[in-house]
């Protein structure tokens, strides 16, 4: 295979892996603090992407033409709105069902996701059709021996990596992160130690939903198009990535995201009719991995309570 083409496939895989990892980390955060699967997570991503697009349209109507200002305001609006939405979902629907069977929480988050997705389709102007997303990043590129390295891809990749690094710093170096990790490890003990359990849950859901919004904007900037169904697909892939990486382990979620993207890339390169079968190949390998290691590649560390 031509090295330039191979490098292009690698870059595409890295871009997809970063988006999948951001979504998978959100699933892991939710599972870590409450041991639940929030199936509306992908649809929160959709709402975040459309919030960013609506913000861009509003800024353009106000005559603000600076792409830097537009992008920053879009990110702040999408992340802030989705963080608030995630906290509301946790407070109004998830926390009240803590004593109910896990299936109840799974079903209600699934229904919330359907409501969010259909609201975008029905109430956003012409929401049933794909929407062009603004090209706000530099379109410059560098030709490296047949490999066309786009500056906007590099910026997106670096930005995604910085978000993950910042999240790790928050979780490992701050009191908030210590509280989140403590709640994930032992709810009862943290309550005895004076930690406000409900507040930590709300903050965690806000962080995870903010990550979904960032991934939604990243997806729009990468493909220059969004539609009301993007969250459904990215939610399934992100959940699969979290599972194969080890649900409850952030490093496993990141690994799972890049592994899933690598499987899709391998499928696209090696299989006939690649564009049609790459997802089939990726999910088939995921099923095999789950059968081989049901706890994931990096299982969450647990301690037996006495």
Helices 250-270 & 3-34 angle (0-180, nearest 10): 150
Of the segments 88-97, 98-107, 281-290, which one has the largest average pLDDT value? 88-97
pLDDT at 82 over 80: yes
Q: Sort residue 224 into left (φ over 0), alpha (ψ -120 to 50) or beta.
A: left
pLDDT digits (tens, 9 = 90+) for 213-258: 999 999 999 999 999 999 999 999 999 999 999 888 899 999 999 9
Average pLDDT score over the chain: 90
The rounded percent of the chain whose pLDDT value lies above 90 is 67
pLDDT digits (tens, 9 = 90+) for 257-282: 999 999 988 887 776 665 667 888 88
pLDDT (0 to 100) of residue 293 = 87
pTM: 0.93
pLDDT digits (tens, 9 = 90+) for 161-181: 999 999 999 999 999 999 999
d(CA 200, CA 33): 8
């Amino acid at each position: 295979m031509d090295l330039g083409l191979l490098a292009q496939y690698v870059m595409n895989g890295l871009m997809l892996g970063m988006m999948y990892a951001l979504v998978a980390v959100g699933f892991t955060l939710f599972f870590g603090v409450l041991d639940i699967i929030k199936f509306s997570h992908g649809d929160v991503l959709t709402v975040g992407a459309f919030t960013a697009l609506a913000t861009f349209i509003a800024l353009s109507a106000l005559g603000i033409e600076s792409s830097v200002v537009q992008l920053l305001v879009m990110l702040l609006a999408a992340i802030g709105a989705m963080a608030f939405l995630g906290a509301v979902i946790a407070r109004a629907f998830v926390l009240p069902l803590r004593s109910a069977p896990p299936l109840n929480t799974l079903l209600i988050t699934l229904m919330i996701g359907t409501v969010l997705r259909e609201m975008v389709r029905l109430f956003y102007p012409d929401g049933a059709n794909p929407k062009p997303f603004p090209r706000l990043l530099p379109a410059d590129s560098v030709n490296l021996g047949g490999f066309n390295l786009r500056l906007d891809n590099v910026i997106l990749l670096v930005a995604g990596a910085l978000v993950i690094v910042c999240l790790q710093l928050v979780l490992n170096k701050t009191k908030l992160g210590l509280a989140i990790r403590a709640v994930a490890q032992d709810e009862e003990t943290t309550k005895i130690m004076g930690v406000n359990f409900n507040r930590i849950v709300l903050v965690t859901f806000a962080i995870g939903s903010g990550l979904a919004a960032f991934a939604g904007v990243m997806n729009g900037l990468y493909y220059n198009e969004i539609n009301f169904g993007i969250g459904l697909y990215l939610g399934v892939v992100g959940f699969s990535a979290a599972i194969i990486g080890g649900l409850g382990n952030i490093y496993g979620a990141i690994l799972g995201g890049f592994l899933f993207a690598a499987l899709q890339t391998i499928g696209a390169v090696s299989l006939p009719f690649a564009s049609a079968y790459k997802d089939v190949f990726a999910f088939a390998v995921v099923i095999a991995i789950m059968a081989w290691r049901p706890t994931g590649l990096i299982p969450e560390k647990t301690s037996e309570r006495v």
